[in-house]
Amino acid sequence: MGMKTLLGDVLAKPGVERVRKNHGLEHATIHVLGERARRGGMAGRSDRHGFTLYGDVPTEVLADACEWALQRLARLPRLISLMTAALILAQPLGLAIQRDVTTSGDPGGLQIVSIKRRRIGALTFHRVETRG
């Protein structure tokens, strides 16, 4: 079995695919926030249940950006893949791995279930839960 086939098999596993879809939505959401509010300094961490976005942004603004990003992903998966790649290229580490392995521009049946704001000291973050 070749490396490319092995990698494809791993990426197709349901748990891995969910993380990749959530990671794609996370990147698309950050991109939308950047377009709309010129917000910088945001970071996120994805898992199979959703993602956590670190940065001070109003929950309503984030919710709207998440929905808009999900709609874009559903309508224009190739364009979002390119936008995600562009966002990734702006970061110094793991460029090829993020572009080819850890994100997916195809949301499939991904749905946003909830968005919750948290604050610990000076750190503000949101948890975005997904399903599908």
Is the pLDDT confidence value at 105 over 80? no
**Contact predicate 32/5, CB 8 Å:** no
Residues spanned by the domain of 110: 3-131
pTM of the full predicted structure?
0.69
- pLDDT category at 16 given cuts 50, 70, 90 is confident
Average pLDDT over residues 114-120: 95
CATH of residue 105's domain is 3.30.980
Query: What pLDDT does residue 119 have?
Result: 93
- DSSP secondary structure string for all residues of the chain: --HHHHHHHHHHSHHHHHHHHHHHHHHHHHHHHHHHH---S-EEEEETTEEEEES---HHHHHHHHHHHHHHHHH-HHHHHHHHHHHHHTSSS-HHHIIIII--S--TT-EEEEEEEEEETTEEEEEEEEE-
More confident residue, 116 or 83: 116
CB burial readout 78-92, b (16+ within 10 A) else e:
eebbebbbebbeeee
Structurally, the chain folds into a number of domains equal to 1
Q: What is the pLDDT of residue 53?
A: 95
Average pLDDT over residues 65-94: 71
Cβ neighbour number for residue 9 with a 10 Å cutoff = 11
Residue 116's pLDDT is what? 96
